Structure 1
Amino acid sequence: MSGLPAPDCRLAAKVVPSPNQGERRDARRPDMIVLHYTGMPGAASALQRLCNPLAEVSSHYLVLEDGRIFQLVPESARAWHAGVSNWAGDTDLNSASIGIEIVNPGHDGGYPDFPEAQVAATSALCADIAARWGIPPQRVLAHSDIAPRRKADPGEKFPWRRLHRDGVGHWVEPTPPGDGRAFARGDEGQPVQALQAMFAMYGYGLDVTGVFDEATEAVVRAFQRHFRQELVDGVADRSTLTTLRDLLRALPASAA
């Protein structure tokens, strides 16, 4: 690190205004970054959709495969990217967040790796936004984190470890999958209740019922896509539990 301030990535972004925006409710300042993949064949189709008033969807930024960045909505405005979502009890995440769409066809389109130029640009953009708005690492999230029953993006191929090395996002080295007690759909009891409470404590929108239901499985999958990418199966095995525990221990005291 040079010790110099990070460049303002907005200066390098091409401005392509999207009409799909509004005012942040209650004059909120953004305190969260949400990363998506576009899930569309390419950049042109994604840009067209994000700027189509009939689509009623947008993001603040779009990052292309070659690292070019388009700014579609000013950071001070409310883009329409989060949809029905929840994090730490907050359900108006469009007002709370800055949304970044990353061009990738997604799971239904072959799900290629994210190119290095794109990852580097996304990482620099996130670092820039977080520095200017004071967004803490644990508030840099995946779309699947805030909407686990609906979304899988940016998915298990997105290099969260790399972003953390660049100073972006919350991360601990995951415990490798292995033997040990696991919890899965249909299990019930106090251990499941404790598991759900841990996920809720981290921020996931999950009711503590003591029943490992569809919602719990969706949260486990979302967690694995972000923090334990080696195996995404929705089963809360020892690796998942240990990684979650370590993340909770690594939270700043003010966030725990």
Structure 2
Amino acid sequence: MQPNSTILLTAPPAHSRAALRFGLPVAHAAYRVGGGPHLFRANMPISVRGGLMALDCVGFDGRGEAGPFCQEVIRECSARGYDGILCDFEGRPLPLLAEIVQTLSGLTRKRGWPLYVPEAYGSCAQHTQVLISSALSGGSLVQRLREAAAAYGPERVTLAVERVAEDFYLPSPTGQGQPLSREELAQMLEERSPSVFFSSELCAHYFTYMSRENGAHFVLFDDAGSIRKKLRVARDLGIRQAVLSYPQVEDLLEDILSGQRP
């Protein structure tokens, strides 16, 4: 029997207290690679200690030296009692960010801390957890995770669950849909009362509808059940760690956790 997934939440400062009440480790999304580079931080409640640092790179120009920046990161982790780092680096890979990952890998390994990195930086250092997104508009989640497990080893792969709610034109030449808010999705389901199906390949629910203005549409969305299914798919492949964004799943989290089964 497979054990339940080990779940890590990410949460910005405004959601930190709410996320902590679930008793799961929380990566505090209050940090950024700023110019210099220096560690930029948002205001965090003084009482919030422990968990992990979540670090993004929005607006970073890719210039500077890795060493001093990484020491800033470690000092902040020590001051806050963090025991891990999650690098939420989006956009094209930058050489300096790769160097930061390499340096942080050595520093975190010495301390016995996990270091989570996007797949684009997965080959930069061996002792990292590689984040593989669950978001797909085509293909198969099983195949996606199987390939990642073959490339990095299942023990290094962490499923980054992204709650999907998107409206696609049919056909969809770009594979990009229009994001839907929870309210928009709920309204669409109520007004159209569509027949909803489940895609085993995408591990998400979907329905189709016709619009007088622009023809056929395909709507893909998650609920607690489909997210639990993604976690089970990962576990079946030996991938037992998962990261969820608390603001994305706050209305589903209790159901996700109570419904986890080996």
Task: Give the TM-score normalised by structure 1.
Answer: 0.33
By percentage of residues, which structure has more strand?
2
Rg larger for? 2
Task: Give the TM-score normalised by structure 2.
Answer: 0.33
